[in-house]
Amino acid sequence: MIRVEGLCAGFGKFRLREVELAVDPGQSFLLLGPSGSGKTLLLEAILGIRPLEAGRVLLDGVDATRLPPEARKVAYVPQDLALFPHLDVRGNLLFGLRRRGVEPREAAARLARWAELLDLGAVLDRPAVATLSGGERQRVALARALVTEPRVLFMDEPFSALDGSLRRRLQTEVRSLQRRLGLTLVQVTHEAEEAFLMADRMAILMDGRVEQCGTPAALYNRPANLKVARFLMLQNLYPGRVLGLRADGLAEVAVAGGRFVLEPDPRYGEGAPVVVGIRPEEVMLIRPDRPVEPERVKNLFCGTVEEWSDLGHYRLVRLRVGPLVLDSWLNIRAAREFPMEPGGRMWFHLRPGSFCLLPPQ
C-alpha cells in the first residue's frame, strides 16, 4: 500500500538519505529510533507536509509525491494531538467530516460508531477539550482521525505524554483495534518496548538512515549491526574471531578469556573478525543445589557474582569469568528463591542458538 523509494528530505542541516520502505495493507509499521534520528521528518515527508529533495512516495501503486496532504486520503495524529481548543468535543470529532462535505446523517452515524469503539460516550458533550484527561484527549484525537475512514493512519509519538500505566493500556487498546479493523498504521516512537508491542514490522532509523527493517523478532534476535544491537539493549557484546566449524556442525569463536560454541553464520567464515552478542535473558543461571544437566556442557562457565540489583520484574546479575563480564536477567519470582551474594560463585550456561554474530564497528 505504501512504498517509499530513494527518499531524501531535509530540515535545516539534517538530512534523510535514500530511505526505502514498504508497508503492506493492514499492517502496523513502527518507525523506531533515538531522538534526532529523523523519524518525524520521515513521517512528514511521507505525508506530504515536507517536500522531498529526491525519491518518491507511492500510495496503492500511485505516485503521490506531489499530491498535497489533503489529497492523499490519509489521517494524521501529531505528537501534541492538535485538538482545537475553540471547539467542543463533538465539534473536534466532526471537523474532518465537515471539511470533506460528508452529509450530516452519515457524519452522525460515523461519530456514533467511533464513540462506541473508543468509549467516548461520556465525553461527547463536553464543552471544552481542556477538561479532558490525558487518556480522553488521546482517544478524541484518535477518533477524529479514524472517523474520516482514512486508508492509512499516521501517528507521531502519540503516547509520549501519558503516564506509564495509562500509556501501556492505550497502546494495547490501539493495537487490538488496529488488528480488528485491519487498519494500516504507521507510527513513530523512540521507545523500543512500544515498538515491539505494537508492530507487525518496524524500521530502525538512525542519523537519517534506515539501519534495519523487518519483524520485531528478526530485529531483536538478529540485529544488523552494533548500532542497532546497542539501541535494542543487547548488553553482552564481545569482539572475537571465528576459529572454524567443529565436528558437530557448530562454530567456535574465540573471545578475550575464552571460547564460545554457537550456531554457524554463513556470513562469517574461518578467521573472520566478529562481535559476539548474547542477550542477558539468554544467560541461564544454574542453581548451586541442582546438578548440571548433560546438554548444558557446551558453553558452561563458572563465574563470580560481581553484583546484583532487583529492578521491578527482574533481577540484573553481573557475572565475571576472567576478563569477561556478562549481565544476566532473572525473573524476580525465581530470583527470590535463588541464593546468591556478591563474590559468590555461580555456574551458568549459554545455549549455542542464543548468540548472534555482528560485523565489527
Q: What do you get for the CA distance between the two ends of the chain, in Å? A: 35
Q: Which of 136, 139, 214, 149 is nearest to 181 (CA)?
A: 149
Neighbours of 194 (CB within 10 A): 21
The answer to whether the beta carbons of residues 340 and 308 sit under 8 Å apart is yes
Where do runs of H (alpha helix) occur along the chain?
Answer: 39-47, 89-99, 104-117, 134-146, 164-181, 192-198, 216-221, 226-231, 332-336
| Whole-number Å distance between alpha carbons of 60 and 23 | 10
Distance between CA atoms of residues 81 and 140, nearest Å: 9
**Model confidence over 211-247: pLDDT tens digits?**
999 999 999 999 999 999 999 999 899 999 999 999 9
Share of the chain above pLDDT 70, in %: 99
Which amino acid is residue 220, in one-letter code? Y
Contact assessment for residue 23 and residue 1, using Cβ atoms and an 8 Å cutoff: yes
CB contact at 8 A, 154 and 75: yes
Helix/strand/coil for 245: strand
> Residue with C-alpha cell 520484574?
313
Spell out the per-residue pLDDT of the chain, length 361, in tens: 899 999 999 999 999 999 999 999 999 999 999 999 999 999 999 999 999 999 999 999 999 999 998 889 899 999 888 899 999 999 999 998 888 889 999 999 998 988 888 888 889 989 999 999 888 898 899 899 989 889 899 999 988 877 878 889 889 988 998 999 899 999 999 999 999 999 999 999 999 999 999 999 999 999 999 999 999 999 899 999 999 999 999 999 999 988 999 999 999 999 999 999 999 999 999 877 776 766 657 899 989 999 999 988 899 999 999 999 999 999 888 888 788 889 999 899 999 999 999 999 7
Q: DSSP state, 114? A: H
Report the distance separating Cα 76 and Cα 318, nearest Å: 44
Residue 338 is predicted with a pLDDT of 82
pLDDT tens per residue across span 174-199: 899 899 989 999 999 999 999 999 99
Encode 18-47: b = buried (16+ Cβ within 10 Å), e = exposed: ebebebeeebbbbbbbeeebbbbbbbbbbb
User: What is the residue whose three cell numbers read 538478529?
Assistant: 222
Residue 308's beta-bridge partner residues?
A: 317
Q: Model's pTM, two decimal places?
A: 0.90
Percentages (nearest 5) of helix, strand, coil residues in the chain: 30, 35, 35
